Chain A
C-alpha cells in the first residue's frame, strides 16, 4: 500500500507578529515542497540532505534566534522553536540539524568578541557553512565535565599562537559533514573549570570524522566520532576565556533542550496527523475505525500529549525570551515532549495495525526517531536530575 495520506495538516498557531506568521508559512512551503516528499526515501538510504540545509540557509532559517546585524533573523525562541517543530514534522533530520547548527553557533554568538563575531558569524548564520557541537566523548557522556580532549597552548603570544588539540569526541551530529566544530576542550586542570571552547574549522589538518554510527533511526543525520590528532587551531579561535567553556556549554544546552523538545512535538504531530487521517479512511466492520471508541480515545490522548508538549516548550521559550531563568523549564520540556513523542509515535503504529509496522507508512520511522530524542542532549534521566536539583537546591 502506498501513502495515500497528506502528511501534515496546516496549523492555526498563535504567533506574536505578522512576520512570524509569514516565516511559518515559508517554513511550511519548504517542508511540503522540499523536505517531506523525499524524507522516507532518503532516511531509508541514510542520505544527509546537505542541499536542503543550504536552501534553508539561503532562506534565512539557519540563524533565526541571532541578531540581524550578523545575518540572523532576530526572532524570539517562541517563534524559532515553532519553525523547528514544523521542520521536524516534515523531517526530523532537518529539524534537529537546524537545532544542532543553532547550538553550534551559540558560543560564538553569545560569548565571542566583537571581532570574532564580525569575522565568522555571518557565514555561519548565512547558511553556507554547517556546524556541529562537540561536547560528548566516548567516556564522558552524561558526566560531560569529565571530558579529556586536550588543548595545549603553544607558539607564544604572537601570530603563531595556537592550540594543539588531541582527543576524541563522540556522538557528534553532523560529524563528517559539518564545516566547523564548536568544540569543548580541556585547557586546564580536571573538572568543569578546566574546560574551554574552540571554534575549529572542519578542514583543519589532524581533524577527521570516523564512519557514521549505524543507528536504529534518524539515519539521514550522520552521527560520528570526530578525532583530533595534534590539530593546530589558531588561538584567536578561543571563544570566551580559558576555563569558561563548561558554563558556555551548559548555557547552550539549556537552549538546545528546548530545540529538541520542539522537534519531539513535531515528530509526534506528524504521527498524530497520519494516524488520524488513517483512522478516518480505514474501514472495518463497515465503518471507519475512527468511529470505534477504543481507537478514538487513543487518538484523543495522542492529540492531548501533542498540545501539552507544545504548551510546555512555548512556556519555557517565553521565559527565555523575557530574560527569566529557564533551565528547569527547558529540562521539563525536553523530558515531557520526548517521552510524549515516544508514546504518541508508538500509539500511531498501533492505530495503523499491521500496516503501521511496515515501512510503507512513515509511523514506524517516527517511532524509531522518537526513541533517540529521549537520549540525546541529556538523557531523560539527566533531565530529572536537573529538575530535582532545581527543586531542592541541590
Chain B
C-alpha cells in the first residue's frame, strides 16, 4: 500500500507587505497579499522528496484558512503534490493554535496518513507548536525540527542539528515530523506543474464534515485572547558617536542610558 503523506501548510500575509491586526485583534488577512508560508515550502519539498524516493506515495497538502488560502494549496500542488484538502468555515475565524490543531488533526484522520510533515513554524504566528499538538492529538510519535529526513520501510529517520549536539532520530510510522529551513531549498513550480495543478483534486471540508462544533473553535473557543496590539514605532535615526578621544566613554554612557549595561 502506498505511503500516505499529509503536509500541513499555512496561507500567511506576505512578510514584505505592511502587516497589521484587524479590529478584533486577529491577523488582518484582507489588506495584505497572502502566500504559502515560506517555511512550509520546506515541508512540501521534503514530502515530495520522500514520495519520489519511495516510488509509491501520495502527497496530500492540507490547510485551514479562508477562501484565499486555496492559493497556498495551488502553489503546493504546482510544486508536485498530488491532492489537497481545504478546511474552510466562517466559524474558524479567530481560532487559536489549540483549536487549529484540533481541526488539522480531524482532517488528517479523515484523509488517512502514514506521515504528517510540517514546517518549523508559520511566518506569521511563528509559534512552532503545531507538530507537537498534532502528535498528541493523533497519538503518534513526533520527530521535530529536522534538517534531514527520510523514510525507510516503516520508519522515519532524521537529523536534528542543535546548538550543542546533532541528534539522529527515528520513529515508527505513523508519525509527525517537522523540517527546518536547513532541510534543502524548495523547488520552484514549473509552468507545466502549474497547468497540471489545475486538474488535481481539492477537497473542501467545513466544521460539520469534521464533526467539530462551532463553539469549540473561533474567537469564542480560543484558550488565548489578544487584548490589545500596538504597532512597533517607526525606526528613528540612530545616535552617531564621533570618537574624539572620548568615544569609548560615550559608547558606555549610551549603553548605560539604554540599560544595556
B191 touches A61 (CB 8 A): yes
Q: Is B151 an interface residue (CB 8 A)?
A: no
A58 touches B194 (CB 8 A): no
Interface residues of B in 8-56 (CB under 8 A from A): 16, 33
Which residues of chain B come closer than 8 Å to A26, judged between CB atoms?
A: 188-189, 191, 194
- Name the residue on B nearest A57 (C-beta): B190
Asked if A60 meets B190 with Cβ closer than 8 Å, knowing A6-B16, A19-B195, the reply is yes
Which residues of chain A come closer than 8 Å to B33, judged between CB atoms?
A: 10
Q: Is A29 an interface residue (CB 8 A)?
A: yes
Chain A 212-246 near chain B by CB (<8 Å), digits 1 or 0: 00000000000000000000000000000000000
Interface residues of A in 296-317 (CB under 8 A from B): none
Chain B 170-196 near chain A by CB (<8 Å), digits 1 or 0: 000000000000000000111110110
Report the minimum CB–CB distance from B27 to chain A (whole Å).
21
- Name the residue on A nearest B194 (C-beta): A22
A59 touches B191 (CB 8 A): yes
Interface residues of A in 1-20 (CB under 8 A from B): 6, 10, 18-19
Which residues of chain B come closer than 8 Å to A29, judged between CB atoms?
A: 188
Which residues of chain B come closer than 8 Å to A10, judged between CB atoms?
A: 33
Q: Chain B: how many interface residues by the 8 Å CB criterion? A: 12
Interface residues of A in 61-83 (CB under 8 A from B): 61, 64, 73
Q: Is A344 an interface residue (CB 8 A)?
A: no
Count A/B pairs, Cβ under 8 Å: 30
A73 to B196, CA, bound (A): 12
Which residues of chain A come closer than 8 Å to B188, judged between CB atoms?
A: 26, 29-30, 55, 58-59
Which residues of chain A come closer than 8 Å to B194, judged between CB atoms?
A: 19, 22-23, 26
A6 to B15, CA, bound (A): 13
Which residues of chain B come closer than 8 Å to A73, judged between CB atoms?
A: 191
Interface residues of A in 60-116 (CB under 8 A from B): 60-61, 64, 73
B195 touches A58 (CB 8 A): no
Which residues of chain B come closer than 8 Å to A6, judged between CB atoms?
A: 16
Report the minimum CB–CB distance from A2 to chain B (whole Å).
15
Interface residues of B in 195-211 (CB under 8 A from A): 195, 198
Give the contacting residue for B192; candidates A18, A30, A55, A60; CB below 8 A. Answer: A60
Chain B 68-95 near chain A by CB (<8 Å), digits 1 or 0: 0000001000100000000000000000
A345 to B68, CA, bound (A): 38
A23 touches B191 (CB 8 A): yes
A59 to B191, CA, bound (A): 6
A59 touches B16 (CB 8 A): no
Report the minimum CB–CB distance from B31 to chain A (whole Å).
15
A178 to B74, CA, bound (A): 35
Report the minimum CB–CB distance from B156 to chain A (whole Å).
29
A55 to B186, CA, bound (A): 13
A30 to B33, CA, bound (A): 18
A323 to B33, CA, bound (A): 37
Which residues of chain B come closer than 8 Å to A55, judged between CB atoms?
A: 188
Report the minimum CB–CB distance from B212 to chain A (whole Å).
32
- Name the residue on B nearest A64 (C-beta): B191
- Name the residue on B nearest A55 (C-beta): B188
- Name the residue on A nearest B185 (C-beta): A33
B189 touches A59 (CB 8 A): yes
A26 to B71, CA, bound (A): 13
A58 to B191, CA, bound (A): 9
Query: Could you say which of B74, B78, B188, B192 has the most chain A C-beta atoms within 10 Å of its C-beta?
Result: B188
Report the minimum CB–CB distance from B84 to chain A (whole Å).
16
Which residues of chain A come closer than 8 Å to B78, judged between CB atoms?
A: 22
Which residues of chain B come closer than 8 Å to A23, judged between CB atoms?
A: 191, 194
Which residues of chain A come closer than 8 Å to B74, judged between CB atoms?
A: 22
Chosen A-B contacts, 17 in total, with CB atoms closer than 8 Å, are: A6-B16, A19-B198, A22-B74, A22-B78, A23-B191, A23-B194, A26-B188, A26-B191, A29-B188, A30-B188, A59-B190, A59-B191, A60-B190, A60-B191, A61-B191, A64-B191, A73-B191
Known: A19-B198, A22-B194, A23-B194. 18 other contacts (CB 8 A): A6-B16, A10-B33, A18-B198, A19-B194, A19-B195, A22-B74, A22-B78, A26-B188, A26-B191, A29-B188, A55-B188, A59-B189, A59-B191, A60-B190, A60-B191, A60-B192, A61-B191, A64-B191
- Report, nearest first, the 10 A-B pairs whose CB atoms are least far apart: A60-B191, A22-B194, A60-B190, A59-B190, A73-B191, A60-B192, A59-B188, A23-B191, A19-B195, A26-B189
